[in-house]
Amino acid sequence: MATFRIPPVLRTHTNEQVQVTASGSTLGSALEDLFTSFPALRERMIDEDGSLRRFVNVYVDDEDVRTQQGLDTKLDDRSSVIVLPAMAGGAA
């Protein structure tokens, strides 16, 4: 089971749990497993095209998955996944 660290903004969708586990050999399949337990998370993390949302950062073992294989990034039982909403905005 991979471990997922859930940021404050998404904890309303994980019964306030900071850390949850999910199984899957890739990030995408582990997320599917996670969405089975916490369906409201899907919309917050995945866009209409089935890709990771632009302003959600996901790290597998401290490496941004956008610099790895995205949702196809491989996971094993010891993988640790961190989810961080982007810090962005602007005057316009």
Q: Which residue ranges make up the site for another protein (CB under 8 A)?
A: 7-9, 11, 16-19, 55, 57, 59, 62, 64, 66, 82, 84-92
From residue 62, alpha-carbon distances to 6, 13, 58 in Å are: 14, 23, 9
State which residue, 1 or 82, has the beta carbon closest to another protein: 82
Both tokens of residue 25?
Answer: 């050999």
How far is the C-alpha of 33 from the C-alpha of 21, rounded, in Å?
9
State which residue, 7 or 39, has the beta carbon closest to another protein: 7
State which residue, 7 or 25, has the beta carbon closest to another protein: 7
